[in-house]
Structure 1
Amino acid sequence: MSGTSRARAVPWALLGLWVAVLALVGPFAAKLADVQHDRVTDYLPASADSTRAAEIQERLPGGESTELVLVYHRDGGLTAADRRTAAGQLSDIAGAHELIGGAPRGIPSEDGTTLMYPVATNEPGTDEALRDALVEDVRERAAGGGGLSVEVGGTGALATDAGKVYDSLGGPLLYTTVAVVAVLLVLIYRSPVLWLVPLVVAGVADFLSMGVAYGLNQAFGTTVSGQSSGVMTILVFGAGTDYALLIVARYREELRRFERPYEAMRAALRGCGPAVLASSGTVAAGLLCLLAADLNSSRGMGPLGTVGVLCALVAMLTLLPALLVLLGRRVFWPLVPAFGSEPVQRRGLFAAMGTSAGRRPLTVLATGAVLLGALSLGTLGLPGALKQEDSFVDTPQAVTAMRTLAQAYPEQGTQPIDVLTPRDRADETLAAVRAAPGVAGAERGRTGGGWTEITVMAQDAPQSAAETATIESLREALDGSYVGGASAQQIDLEDTSRRDTGIVVPLVLVSVLIILVALLRSLVAPLILVAAVVAVWGAALGIGGLVFEPLLGFEGTDPGLPLLSFVFLVALGVDYGIFLMHRMREESLAGAEPSAAALTALRTTGGVIASAGLVLAATFAVLTNMGLVPLVELGFVIALGVLLDTFLVRTYLVTSASVALGRRVWWPGVLSRPAGPAGTGESSEPPRRPEAVGAP
């Protein structure tokens, strides 16, 4: 096949292949929402006591129990009419639903302002839709008025309110992400057509990732939650657009050197393909390290995030080039790169940055290190672990009910602790629970499958230090039993997050280093890149410590924030280091001196890195507009870290370190040796003419 025929056939063949793939994947992508769940066990540690307790409860007669608390409150004190109203409404609810133990008796507060009715039912089982319908029906039947407020709280209502937020993530998250990326691409490309191409390709990649994610769920039981599917979409558009920016920038450069778009694209992919493959490899490797986590939400995010990145990679390396070649040079209108033309030579921002970094590299390096270190001290100001009731940006009814209870019953437990014990030891366990310190009361619950459920009420407020001590003492005393419930789950969540961080972080560092060493053929350059992104992670978390509680009013930090932000910032941040260092290595192979290679690499890739950083930061910043504090905190830290990495670390610190170290940055590779007649330090290829590309 001639070159001209191949140039016509290959893009059309790739386009046809993608049409076939989408037709095959389409039915599966539409089913992803059907397997998405946000149950408690989807976010708990796999091996924790509380998770085991929840799993046993699901198998008891009636299935998983839904626990609610109805809170009747009047500021001036409840009247006799209020009490009759409450009793009548509870009777109505008991008649409409199968409540465990029938209509409960009200528990009055000491000040007479509040009446609490604990309610439990097995009616919904594990069906989230039935649970939500139950909660809404109870809320409709429990109505106040005339100064009497009625709120429905408890773990069941909290799960329903959280589910509403997660359900709202899908559409708004996707639409907002697409809008943000579209605006940035229009500003970057300054073309009425070009911005559409990478955006459409990213949309196709997102559709593909949904189908693959559904397949993983069906084949391996991979957990799909609102959080993990949302992050997958963010990664497809964020990382995918980054790859597109690099490919398009290099393609524009090669169009000045090659007459035919097909040949220009081949040269572009040869030039930037290894960097794109390595950058996606670091992200995928980092995310797959989450499989070592015990926390279900973190472990489930690893495969879905990897699917998103790899689908974006495949689309950007095949579909994007095919579309660009078929559209020809006119896709760049009005700034069309003509064959044989020279790019506009101007002293841009990154040339100025490179000059300042190259003039006093050690000074710049020391100043940047001190700045990042100072910002990292802000981690000391991070608030404590985030409680369940503080995890919403806008306070739902379930949380207001819990806060009312906390004020009305300050010295009394209002949230049950669940103990699952072997059936033949139920009496013994019940006696031990009642005798345990901090226990206000305990009652036998359901029995089935060899297990008996015991409902325990603590003497102290939920998630207080005293209640935590009660749970820990129960676990020590009840050998062979499992202690669960909302407070126990929070304890396990915090403990497991610390354990996961200690295991996953080293795995991420080692996997990323291996990929960087293979790409750059050096030990020093990869260590510089990894040290830089770790410093960025610390600084971004530190800024979070200065902002979360004092400015945003967040009452706590999500226990999983340090680990997830580390994985994303290290894996994604190294991308920009790869773009920079790979170009620096190209220039060095072409015979440039180390300092010149570093400055040329910054000048030619600075615009691409800045554009990519802005897009990636903006996509993660979309999470800050969601309704859950953990997502807001994660989006804030990653977006800020990406910006620090883009405009401080890559432009100044990595460049300064490269200039200061000279050839030693490539040690022990061949480029670390002085150039000479033997050719040990130079390439046999003719030197390439450096071209300034100020913006993609």
Structure 2
Amino acid sequence: MLSSLTERHATFVTERWRGVLLGWLIVTSFLVAVAPRWKDIAYDGDFEYLPPDMNTVAAARVLDEAFPGDRARSQIVLILARRDHPLDDNDLIVGDDLLRRLHHRLSEVCWQRAIDLGYDGGPIEQAPPDAKPWLDRAVEALDQSIAVDERFYQAFADHVPDKPPTLTEPRMAIAYFDRAKLLEQLGNHEREVGDDYQDALILVPEIESIVPPIEQRNLSAWKPMLDLLSWDDSVIGGRLSKPGARLAVLQLSSELAATSNIDTIEAVQRLLADVRDYSSARIESTSEQNGLQLAMTGSAAIGGETLIAARDAIRYTELITVLMILVILALVYRAPLLVAVPMLSIGIAVAVSTALVGLLTDWSIRDVVPGLNLRVFTTSRIFIVVILFGAGTDYCLFLISRLREEAAGAEWPLACKRAVSGVTGALLGSALTTIFGLAMLWFAQFGKYHYTGPVVAICLFIGLAVCLTLTPALLRALGPKVFWPAVVAPREADPAALISFPTRVEGHGAAAGGGIWDWIAIRLTRRPAATCLTGLILLLIPGIYGWRNEDSTTYDMSSQLDTQADSRRGFRILAEHFNIGEINPVTVLLVRAEGEPRESLKKQIKTLSDHLYELPGVVAVRTSNDPLGDFPPDREMSLLSTDAWRRRALQQHRVAQNYFFSSNPEYQDRLVRLDLVVKGDPFSLDTAERVSNIGRNLGDLSRTPESDWYEADVYLAGTTPSIIDLRSVTTQDNQRIKTAVVIAVFLVLVAVIRRVGLCLYLILTVLLSYYATLGLTILFFQGVYGDEYVGLDWKLPLFLFVILVAVGQDYNVYLVTRIIEEQRHRGWLAALRHAVSRTGGIITACGLVMVATFLSMTSSAWMPGILSLLGFENQATTGLRGIIELGFAMGLGVLIDTFYVRTILVPSFVALMGRLGARVKRAESEAT
């Protein structure tokens, strides 16, 4: 049945090749024209794709409902610090330069947000309710920008460089101009407006013509900015100040790994560069060891730099993949057209598949097609490009290799038919193992797994379709000259061959085999038992190490960045002066079924706060009574003390207003919000255990009838609780998906090969190959990272497993199906040797192609250095460790599969089975 279908398919493609070429041209042009850009539909982040029933996801829903409007979801922390001694007055001049710029940016964003919410002029009291707080904050931020600017200029006057003034140097002329315009809109006294306007004109006379209205300014990069908390604040500034460091915290509405954070991070980096170039460079040397340091960190900084690294990884991976494929094809074929045909085919496959997936995703997002549920991620494109180029090139190599054999025995049209018919079954079998294996990720609960696997499977299916239709049509159209400068022609013209359609012609294609592979085939079949056993034992040694350390992974997002990344350097500086937990608190939400009088509720919160301070690892508890957690139970104070005044001021500060209690009627006096500062790095296992213990303790309180919080719903939010949930769900997914992938690939193998024992052995070899690869990868990166090694990226084991188990069967399927095909004409031993000899070179070439494409994922680690040595300007990051580790692991795995499993373990086992089968037949024959 399959043979008949492949013959009909081969006839259609090679006889109607003009229609096939035209069809692909139309489809490609249409999809590329209508599909959205990848970056416009790509998602990112990890925590956003947890199952909806996870505690932190439920907590996010409660926060969105209880605190409607814009709430801070991430932050950028800017650090001004010295390592060698406390900050002095000159250092604080640099800090003022930073603050005056930041306050102005905040004012612009708040003003624009008020306009977006319906404000079109008039007093604040008459503005739409949602716009009022943003107008207040815009005015306050402009006042602060100008106040800091005056202080800065007074101290910096002696250092002002001799160059024309700008809108922000040496004075914040634009801040005066903006305040004049805003006060004018608000209807304030003409004298105030005139003074600011005159000041702006004195500083920059042409300011009216060069500053666009607030509505026309491009502030997209700063749009997520909600507030600025700094050391300069009279109430909370003490918490952001240390003798050797000062902090400014930008609170953002975007999630820590939102794609918009890329623009925000780059905008902040440009602002920091302006400060360094203008004031810091003139105050003092900024030596990394001894000078003033101006650094950036925080959840959004880490998330944004991770996305930037991923973007650079994609760019380098695509470039290096194409270059490597070109080089390998040129070395293999040494024929221009044989290089062009696969590259054109794969290029169209990538264009069509990414366009189709992008279109389907866009329809899914906009709910155009009911029931369609598809998402793509920034890093999904890496897998699509790498797997499509690797697998697509392999498919083309298999087809062209078979065509070379057939062209030596038949005229070109018939040779094309025979080649397509001869490889279709093997390509379907090898591709389907990968497609079904990747599709099993659909059963994952974690969103990135759930969507990425099927998306790559769809793209691979399109790549297979291209290689089985467009590629043969191109070869048929070009004719034998595709092998130029080599000449491939029939050795003997056989008229009968023109009307017959055998699967293959025996005795031809000698050029495809011979040499080293003949020698290997003979050696393997002489001592198959010893070869197989020895090969398994050698692979088992690293395999055991990989199996024992499979769970030694890290969920630390910051560790994915190079140690010299801005956010990681900033993190280290921050840790030298502050408790890291202070910028990553754990948010606790307690929701009762019924409301409680506010005063009674505050007393119960005080009792709960005292209880939480007793739990291991809790450094501070921030409540409505103590917004910054400055006053633990053992800190007594009198009503007239400075601390008591400061505490009352904190309770009225904007960081506390509408933060701890919800104004939403549904949650009013039912919901209590606390922030816990927990000891330790928020990404570490120790911190996760402390937070888990806090969660269990609060859960016990909610189940205790005598407790004030009996039957209250308890939610935890924040970085550490999210990592706890992420670890939990991905651990469950790993076991489920591994089982599903093994079963799916095994069923495909049985359907293609129809030999259960051999299929079980093939599954065993790839499992052993996976664990050996994992063990060797762990050892390699332990050596590379040294003391900085904290474990492989948590996504690596599953992606490596799925791809190796699925992709790793490709070459096994091609080899075994060729053995089975040869057995129709020869005995088992001759068939095995002939198949190994004929497929050895082409499978090795295909393996090298796949290795090269996977290793291209590591290019972001070494390509920037090469470009720098060659004198090219390079603005890229130093790479994303998770992608680099995965690319290395997959390349190593395919290398082991190609040169060890397929070369030694599979042929020796087949020889062993053949020998045992021959003995059984001989025994049966003697018995009869």
TM range (shorter): 0.7 to 0.9
Tell me what 2:243 maps to: 112
For 1:633, the equivalent position in structure 2 comes to 885
Question: CA 1:368–1:7 in 2, change beyond 3 Å: closer, same or farther?
Answer: closer
Q: Which entry has the higher C-alpha Rg, 1 or 2?
A: 2
Q: State the shift of 1:299 in Å.
A: 1.6
- State the Cα deviation string for residues 271-315 of structure 1 (Å, max 9, x = none): 111111111111111111111122222222112211221111000
> What is the aligned counterpart of 1:456 among 669, 676, 686?
676
Equivalent residue number for residue 435 of structure 1:
611
Give the whole-Å Cα distance in 1 for the aligned partners of 2:229 and 2:569.
Answer: 26
Q: Name the structure 1 match of 2:911.
A: 659
Quick check: 1:50 aligned with 2:56? yes
Aligned pair partner of 2:773 in 516, 527, 540? 540
TM-fit CA distance, 1:638: 0.8
Q: Identify the residue that residue 33 of structure 1 maps to in structure 2.
A: 39
CA contact (8 A) 2:766 2:808 kept: yes
Instruction: Describe the shift of the 1:8–1:606 C-alpha distance in structure 2 as closer, same or farther (beyond 3 A).
Output: closer
Question: Do residues 488 (structure 1) and 683 (structure 2) align?
Answer: no
Which residue is 2:689 aligned to?
A: 469
**What is the CA RMSD across the aligned residues, in angstroms?**
3.2
Q: What amino acid maps onto 2:894 in structure 1? A: V
Amino acid at match of 1:601: A
Match of 2:449 among 265, 290, 298: 298
Match status 1:604 vs 2:756:
no
Q: 1:615 to 1:8 in 2, by over 3 A?
A: closer
Structure 1 SS opposite 2:336: coil
1:688 is matched with none
State the match for 1:692 in structure 2: none
On the 8 A contact 1:45/1:493 being kept in 2, the answer is: no
1:683 — aligned with what? none
What SS class does the counterpart of residue 624 from structure 1 fall into?
helix
Distance 1:672 1:160, change over 3 A: farther
SS in 1 for 2:554: coil
- Residue 70 of structure 1 aligns to a residue whose secondary structure is strand
Change (3 A) 1:558 1:50: farther
**Aligned twin of 1:645:** 897
**Greater displacement, 370-379 / 356-365:** 370-379
Report whether the alignment pairs 1:618 with 2:878.
Answer: no
Structure 1 residues 411 and 132: CA distance shift in structure 2, 3 A: closer
Q: 2:70 aligns with which of 52, 58, 62?
A: 62
Contact 1:413 1:460 in 2 (8 A): no
Rounded to whole Å, the distance in 1 between the matches of 2:606 and 2:262 is: 32
Question: Equivalent residues in 2 for 1:528-607 (5 A)?
Answer: 528-553=761-786, 554-590=789-825, 592-607=826-841
| CA 1:528–1:7: 2 relative to 1, 3 Å | closer
Q: Distance in 1 between matches of 2:15 and 2:553?
A: 60
Compare 554-563 and 635-644 and name the one that shifted more. 554-563
Matched with 1:388 is 557
Deviations 1:20-65 (A, max 9, x none): 1112211244522210122344565665333444455566421563
| 1:419 and 2:585 correspond | no
Cα 1:672–1:392 change in 2 (3 A) is farther
Q: 1:356 and 2:526 equivalent? A: no
CA positional deviation for 1:530: 0.8
Structure 1 residue aligned with 2:154: none
CA distance in 2 between counterparts of 1:646 and 1:6 reads 33
What is the distance in 1 between the residues matched to 2:859 and 2:58? 34
Do 1:198 and 1:244's aligned partners in 2 also have CA atoms closer than 8 Å? yes
Contact persistence 1:28–1:214 (CA under 8 A): no
Whether 1:16 and 2:22 are equivalent positions in the alignment is: yes
Structure 1 residue 655: deviation in Å?
A: 0.3
How far apart are the structure 1 equivalents of 2:356 and 2:889?
28
Q: Using the alignment, how far apart are the partners of 2:339 and 2:689 within structure 1?
A: 57
Match of 1:149 among 287, 293, 300: 293
For residues 916 and 98 of structure 2, what CA distance do their matches in structure 1 show?
Answer: 78
Give the secondary-structure state (helix, strand or coil) at the position aligned to 1:461.
coil
Counterpart selection for 2:739 from 506, 515, 518: 506
State how far apart, in whole Å, the 1-side matches of 2:748 and 2:425 are.
Answer: 11
| Mapped contact 1:430–1:454 kept (Cα < 8 A) | no
Are the equivalent residues in 2 in contact too, given 1:32–1:213 (CA < 8 A)? no
- Which deviates more, 140-149 or 168-177? 140-149
Note if contact 2:349-2:462 (Cα within 8 Å) is conserved in structure 1: yes
Q: Please report how far the alpha carbon of residue 205 of structure 1 lies from its aligned counterpart in structure 2 after TM superposition.
A: 0.2
**Gapped regions of structure 2 (runs ≥ 5):** 1-10, 111-225, 285-290, 365-371, 493-507, 625-658, 700-712, 861-878
CA deviations on 1:603-651 (whole Å, 9 max, x unpaired) are: 1111121011100111011111231111111111111010111011111
CA displacement 1:483-527 (0-9 Å, x = unmatched): 232222333333333211110011001111111111111101111
Q: 1:7 to 1:238 in 2, by over 3 A?
A: closer
TM-score, normalised with respect to structure 2:
0.67
- Larger mean Cα displacement after TM superposition, 641-650 or 376-385: 376-385
Q: Per-residue deviation at 1:256? A: 1.7
- Measured against aligned partners, the alpha-carbon deviations of 1:306-329 in whole angstroms (never above 9, x if no partner) come to 122111100000000000000001
The percent identity for this pair of structures is 27
State the partner residue of 1:251.
403
Output the CA distance in 1 between the equivalents of 2:609 and 2:824: 72
User: Which structure 2 residues correspond to residues 242-281 of structure 1 after superposition, within 5 A?
Assistant: 242-259=394-411, 261-281=412-432
